Amino acid sequence: MIPKPLDQIEEVDLQALVDEGVREGLRLEYKREVRLDGDGKRTLRRAVCAFANTQGGDVLIGVDVDPDDKALPVSLPGVAVSSVDAEELRLSQAARLGLEPQLDGVDVRGVPLQSGEHVFIIRVRQSWRRPHRVLQERHFYARTHEGIYPLEVPQIRRAFLMSERQAEGIRGFVAERLVAIGAGQDLPVRLEGRGRVVLHLIPSGALEPGSEMISTEQLQEEARSHRLRTLIGTGNARFTLEGLAVWNPGGHEEHQLSVATLHRNGIVEAVDASLLEPQHDSPIVPTGSLTQGLEAALESYLAIFRAADAIAPPGYLFLSLLGVRNHRMAVPAAQFRGHSGPFGRDIVTPPEAVIQGWDETPRAILAPVLDRIWNAVGEQGAPRGRRI
């Protein structure tokens, strides 16, 4: 895979692959052209399927290879098309729609060449729904440095188990963190009060051994730019063993209001101690402030992910409320009711949301999660008109 965001790749980057003799491998494949007849579609779908089932990768169309060494690029003749947009759509549909389950993590871009032709790049992300199979053949494929190979039955079974284990591993990580946070342990700062709003944003590959998706240089840039924020705003920053932490000071010198940590493996953890504090004797969740803070914080985290080449979608978002027994959700005045019924439990953890791309809007990502929180107090969902 070319180590650059797809929309920033230029002819010079492609020419470097030729000049430096970058061979096809685990995450890169070259094709002179793709004819989308029966055989052409099958060949393309095998490549896309193999990337999705392995570590993701780029298919480059419009690259000539050595006739005696099919893995070695020798020139960039490109592809002549009458409409770049139409060709991008054609390739995207051919790649995605012929797999089961259908693949979402595919992007296509035509890179213009000085000759007037284009090299089309199909970027395939590692799939959280793997393994996939090619419908026309009903075969599963994977990839090594040597190329594509069909999975045998034991390998297919193992792929299904690995997919399930990844999801379970992420859920287990979040559960362990909630226990530690509830006990006031393993946070960069000490927080005030008892109630906690906890947001976890986790790229799918974050928990793989040795995973380091955020470089030291990007941590330094985030510290300078103040882009990383807590659920209530920007704050003080410092480097930690795990990565970079920001926090908002509280009224007591030793206790802070809110903290967020960007881990080197790409995980973002935000913990807030101010939003659930009872006002007088009424433990109310200030839903407007909560939603605004979540949306603003999530937008900053997605922007960080978009800037990090190593963080590929999909990702998981977890929102948890700790210490909320007997709290009520504030209902908008327009609905002529003051508050919802109370939470009947101390910890509320709705199912996670899956994020297919870092360009999704925070409101769309959060909507089903917030609906489930409102379900927990007996409401049909978040009040309509504006998700609160």
pLDDT at 159 over 70: no
Q: What is the DSSP string of 296-317?
A: HHHHHHHHHHHH-TT--S-EEE
Residues 214-259: tens digit of each pLDDT: 888 999 999 999 899 999 998 899 999 999 999 998 766 667 899 9
What pLDDT score was predicted for residue 387?
Answer: 43
Query: Cβ(225)–Cβ(169) under 8 Å?
Result: no
* Strand 196-203 with 147-150, pairing: unpaired
Report CA 80 to chain centroid distance, whole Å.
34
Average pLDDT over residues 85-91: 92
Query: Cβ(84)–Cβ(139) under 8 Å?
Result: no
Kindly indicate the confidence band of residue 108, based on its pLDDT and cuts at 50, 70 and 90: very high
* Average pLDDT score, the chain: 86
Which is higher by pLDDT, 277 or 106? 106
Which is higher by pLDDT, 98 or 24? 24
- Cα(289)–Cα(379) distance, integer angstroms: 19
Nearest to 304 by CA among 273, 367, 261, 354: 261
Query: Cβ(175)–Cβ(225) under 8 Å?
Result: no
- Least confident piece of the model among 55-64, 69-78, 220-229, 308-317: 308-317
Report CA 78 to chain centroid distance, whole Å.
32
Kindly indicate the confidence band of residue 136, based on its pLDDT and cuts at 50, 70 and 90: confident
Kindly indicate the confidence band of residue 260, based on its pLDDT and cuts at 50, 70 and 90: very high
Question: 6-151 has which CATH code?
Answer: 3.30.950.30
What pLDDT score was predicted for residue 40?
Answer: 85
Residue with tokens 């390998």: 155
The encoded tokens of residue 35 equal: 């004819």
- Cα(94)–Cα(261) distance, integer angstroms: 40
- Least confident piece of the model among 1-5, 15-19, 82-86: 1-5
- Cα(374)–Cα(370) distance, integer angstroms: 6
What pLDDT score was predicted for residue 263?
Answer: 95
Q: What is the DSSP string of 243-284?
A: EEEEEEEEEETTEEEEEEEEETTS-EEEEESSTT--BTTB-E
pLDDT at 338 over 80: no
pLDDT at 386 over 80: no
pLDDT > 70: what percent of the chain? 90
pLDDT > 90: what percent of the chain? 48
CATH 3.30.950.30 in the chain, residue ranges = 6-151
Average pLDDT over residues 320-329: 91
Note the helical H segments in the chain. Answer: 11-19, 38-53, 84-96, 153-182, 216-225, 287-307, 362-375
Q: Tell me the angle at which helices 287-307 and 362-375 cross, rounded to the nearest 10 degrees.
A: 140
- Cα(114)–Cα(123) distance, integer angstroms: 22
Q: Which residues pair with 259 in a beta bridge?
A: 247, 271
